[in-house]
Homo-oligomer: A and B are copies of this chain.
Amino acid sequence: MKHGGDLTQAMAEFGGAPDQWLDLSTGINPWPWPIPANLPSHLWERLPTRADEQSLLSAARSAYHVPDNVDVVAAAGTQALIQWLPHLAAPGAVAVVGPTYNEHVAAWRAGGHEVGVIGSLSALPDHAKHVVIVNPNNPDGRIAKRDELADVAAILQRRGGWLVIDEAFADVDPAISVAGLCATLPVAILRSFGKFYGLAGVRLGFALAAPLIAQRIATAIGPWACSGPAQVIGAAALRDERWATQTRVALVAQGIKLDNVLADAGFEIVGGTPLYRLARHADALKWHAALARQQIWCRHFDWSHELLRFGLPPDAAALSRLAAALAK
């Protein structure tokens, strides 16, 4: 399975209607930021305006603690940025810290770069011009230290390359973000809106980078990249500090409950973030199929037959349903 979050495959293989499924295959917050009921119709009708874009960028700057000398670019999801970066970076080999989210390797290869996967930043090959790291990593949740990232970025700067840091799951703890590094180093940071705010269907994401890199990204993305509703929903959600603070606590608490359910079923929790947990079991693939037959969809991986990733069940009933399914 290439990605989580799409029940099309699950239903084709195991049947069931969408509302019968408990989808734990993503790292998307199950408690979305509440979108106002009546969005003004002009958001759909008119072209997105520069004023709304500026408001969105300003909200992102504040939410992501972006220093003044670092620029922010908005796109219709970080995936759109992942697609572009390999075409904007200098030619040269790329080291991706993995295993990780598989679209990075795919995009840099499609962009004509030689791509190798390394186990950690300390294994940086001499010939690598660019490095891509997901931080915290998906699926294991590993967090790279700021000093380590700064050291690698300084090495890549001498090589004329970029350090791309995908902070898709960094909202769970603002201390993880290294946005400050962009000011003086060739670092491009990706921030996903949809995961922490539980609004993946909105398609909104950001790049944070020094002005020269950010300008190159903005020129590639072009005008009107984000929908009118995405601009306004994004700006309002990113300004809602109270919601973010409460959500961080709630996610951690739900993650602990999920860990307990998995541990009771004989899984070993080996990593994750508050938005998903990575669990090991000798019979992981059997469990994936057994859960799917009970219309519970979690994530397995091509590169391990012992690991499953579970997103957060949205409520006590879903936790119980998972526990019951694992008890069979």
Interface residue ranges, A against B (CB under 8 Å): 3, 5-9, 23, 26, 28, 32, 35, 41-51, 76-77, 79-80, 82-83, 87, 103, 107, 110, 194, 198-203, 219-230, 233
A212 CB to nearest B CB, Å: 15
Partner of A43, one of B3, B44, B201, B228: B201
B47 adjacent to A41 (CB under 8 Å): no
Alpha-carbon distance A89/B41, docked complex (angstroms) = 37
CB of A95, distance to nearest CB on chain B (Å): 21
**Separation in Å of the A253 CB from the closest CB of chain B?**
20
| A49 cross-chain contacts in B, Cβ below 8 A | 6-8
Choice from B5, B26, B107, B224 contacting A79 with Cβ under 8 Å:
B224
> Which residue on chain B has the smallest CB distance to residue A19?
B42
B6 touches A200 (CB 8 A): no
A222 to B82, CA, bound (A): 9
Cβ-defined partner of A227 (8 Å) among B3, B47, B202: B202
6 A-B pairs whose Cβ atoms sit less than 8 Å apart in the complex: A23-B46, A32-B41, A45-B200, A46-B201, A110-B219, A201-B229
State A203–B230 Cα separation when bound (angstroms).
Answer: 10
With a CB–CB cut-off of 8 A, which chain B residues contact A41?
32, 35
Q: How far is the CB of A313 from chain B (nearest CB, A)?
A: 15
CB-based contact B47/A199 at 8 Å: no
Assess the A227–B230 pair: CB atoms within 8 A.
yes
The residues of B that contact A199 with a CB separation of less than 8 Å are 44-45
Chain B residues whose C-beta falls within 8 Å of the C-beta of A32 in the assembled complex? 41, 44-45
A19 and B60 alpha carbons, distance in the complex (Å) = 27
What 7 pairs across the A-B complex have the smallest Cβ distances?
A201-B228, A5-B47, A83-B222, A76-B76, A203-B227, A8-B50, A47-B200
